[in-house]
Amino acid sequence: MKCPYCGSENVEAVKSWDMPKMGYRVTHYRCRECGGLFNHYVGRGREFTLRVGPRKKASS
């Protein structure tokens, strides 16, 4: 698993859960390099990664 923010593979799975309605298995990851958070979805023959919020706020 690669971090979608910085490309590092030094990530850890924080937790995982099922989305029965969507048919997906979701794993929440945190990058040890940049602290970025993202979710990995697997199900129905496909998988994708979604970023979960910015690692830090660019502006307010």
5 binds Zn ion (CB under 5 A): yes
Report the distance separating Cα 26 and Cα 52, nearest Å. Answer: 12
Closer to Zn ion at the Cβ: 1 or 34? Answer: 34
Task: Look up residue 12 and give its two tokens.
Answer: 């850890």
Which amino acid is it at 48? F
Give the 3-state secondary structure of residue 15.
Answer: strand
Stretch that binds Zn ion, among 12-20, 21-29, 33-41, 45-53 (CB under 5 A): 33-41
Stretch that binds Zn ion, among 16-24, 34-42, 45-53 (CB under 5 A): 34-42
Contact predicate 39/27, CB 8 Å: yes
Q: Give the footprint of Zn ion on this chain (CB under 5 A).
A: 3, 5-6, 8, 31, 33-34, 36
